[in-house]
Amino acid sequence: DSGVTQTPKHLITATGQRVTLRCSPRSGDLSVYWYQQSLDQGLQFLIQYYNGEERAKGNILERFSAQQFPDLHSELNLSSLELGDSALYFCASSSSGTPFNEQFFGPGTRLTVL
């Protein structure tokens, strides 16, 4: 158990809808990273927050947004969902703002868009 929690575990929704994925980092970790894992694209970095501020952006679509709250939990919002957004979404946390330190991954949220 990495200490990173993600909810929900599974999410099934329809095209055009909006969903929110939630992540609680390990106690004391200030950085939260979001990743998308799909069969065709593999594992891709989406976005990083450090102590409430956006630190880095990867291949995140404009329809997606994230934020990190004062208690350090983070939410990833996915809107106008398309079939291709079906994937496993991972959150990871680390103690520092640099990605070179070990990142601890949550179990993921499996999103299915029908």
- The residue ranges that bind another protein (CB under 8 A) are 2, 4, 33, 42-45, 48, 56-58, 90, 92, 98-100, 102-103, 105-108
Q: Please, what is the minimum distance in Å from the beta carbon of residue 65 to another protein?
A: 18
Residue 84 phi, psi (nearest 5): -70, -10
Nearer to another protein, 19 or 35 (CB): 35
Hunting for tokens 């990173």 — which residue is that?
4
Q: Please, what is the minimum distance in Å from the beta carbon of residue 15 to another protein?
A: 26
Nearer to another protein, 17 or 112 (CB): 112
Hunting for tokens 């095209």 — which residue is that?
15
Tokens of 47: 């976005």
Nearer to another protein, 64 or 90 (CB): 90
Q: Please, what is the minimum distance in Å from the beta carbon of residue 21 to another protein?
A: 14
Nearer to another protein, 28 or 70 (CB): 28
The angle formed by the CA atoms of residues 23, 69 and 10, to the nearest 5 degrees, is: 20
Q: Please, what is the minimum distance in Å from the beta carbon of residue 17 to another protein?
A: 25
Alpha-carbon distance of 58 to 34, in angstroms, equals 9
**Residue whose C-alpha is closest to residue 48's, from 89, 88, 99:** 99
